[in-house]
Amino acid sequence: MAQGFRKLSTVVVALLAAGFCSFASAQTTPERNMRVSIGIPEDHPSAQGAAKMIESLARQSGGKFKAKLYPNSQLGSETATIASVRGGTLEVTIVATAPVATIIKEFLVYDLPFLFQNEKEADTILDGKFGQKLLDLTTAKNMIGLCYWENGFRQLTNSKRPVANMEDMSGLKIRVMQNPVYIDAFKTMGANAIPMPMPELYTALEAKAVDAQENPITNIYSNKMFEVQKYISLTNHAYSPHIILVSKAFWDKLEPKEQQMMRTACYEGRDYERKMNRDLAAGQLTDMQKTKGMTVTTVTPAEMAKMRERIKPVIDRFIPEIGAETVAEANAEIAKIRK
């Protein structure tokens, strides 16, 4: 009887100790406070995806992750917030891959004109081993690349005239991202390419400092560019991904399970954001044409082929900078999808 009592006492003590350790662990796990920066308005699909990511983190962590979203470039331009993430003064930023390419040249591959023909190709490459290989390169720059979201196929708008071919682009002052591939590509097609941060764009269009710009449909709509642009041309000249970047200084403070929560939340935000972006784009284009008064021009496949041929020397010129192996690997993966 006494022996049985001793065994029972041992079990009870062990259970109480385990419970106490679990309680102590929960109590000592700190709250994680994060700021999430994005350069676009909060009604944009990517900002909505960020809200979904934040919601996922709170749910997974039982409220331990406390994140606040700062849309509309409140914390600075994409270039500035990338620098803040690298310096450890900002936890998370969601940016286009184009400015990342200024510090990690391999990311320029995503800016090669006409690389992807449709969303399926883009999703497969970005979510597969090629996309992960490039994400891994961010670690050496004091960042963690979590995953890619969609910005979308880029289209051209302007305030001067319909653009159906390269001749129509001649002389247009087109704002482009601060990215050498975009600058050289549009110059080669006859435009005057002017690099400019996104927060300055609307004012520059309104003041006629630039005539034109290129962005995905959802960016054009959410930034109300229809107020200062009359014409939109469906060029599909590039597919623009977003990338979610986390400060390595912040990441290294997280426990492995918390890091996995971050990845899971990124994927949940991605799936939500891509679907929303694609569902919205068609309706927004119709609204800009029928309600906002924009003239929509669809560039024909024949004219697109001429554009691709014209800018082929631009692509060839950047291959050594990007890395011939990187470009070849991307093209090989895309070729597999097309087969």
Tokens read off for 299: 């560039």
**How remote is the C-alpha of 106 from its chain's centroid?**
16
Its pTM surpasses 0.75: yes
Grouping H, G, I as helix, E, B as strand and the rest as coil, residue 327 is helix
Q: What is the mean pLDDT of residues 163-178?
A: 94
Indicate whether 265 pLDDT > 60.
Answer: yes
**Over the stretch 184-233, which tens digit does the pLDDT of each residue have?**
999 999 999 999 988 899 999 999 999 999 999 999 998 999 999 999 99
> Quick count: other Cβ atoms within 10 Å of Cβ 114?
18
Of 21-25, 104-108, 182-186, where does mean pLDDT reach its minimum? 21-25
Average pLDDT, the chain: 91
Torsion over CA: 150, 136, 134, 338 (sign): negative
**Over the stretch 105-144, which tens digit does the pLDDT of each residue have?**
999 999 899 999 999 999 999 999 999 999 999 999 999 9
Confidence of residue 23 (pLDDT cuts 50, 70, 90): very low
Phi/psi at 144 (nearest 5 deg)? -120, 115
- CATH topology classification for 31-338: D-Maltodextrin-Binding Protein; domain 2 (3.40.190)
> What's residue 180's pLDDT?
86
DSSP 199: G
Measure Cα distances from 146 to 32, 47, 71, 174 in Å.
17, 16, 19, 32
Residue written as tokens 């700190």? Answer: 30
Domain ranges of the chain: 31-338
As to burial, measured by CB atoms within 10 angstroms (0-12 exposed, 13-18 middle, 19+ buried), residue 9 is: exposed
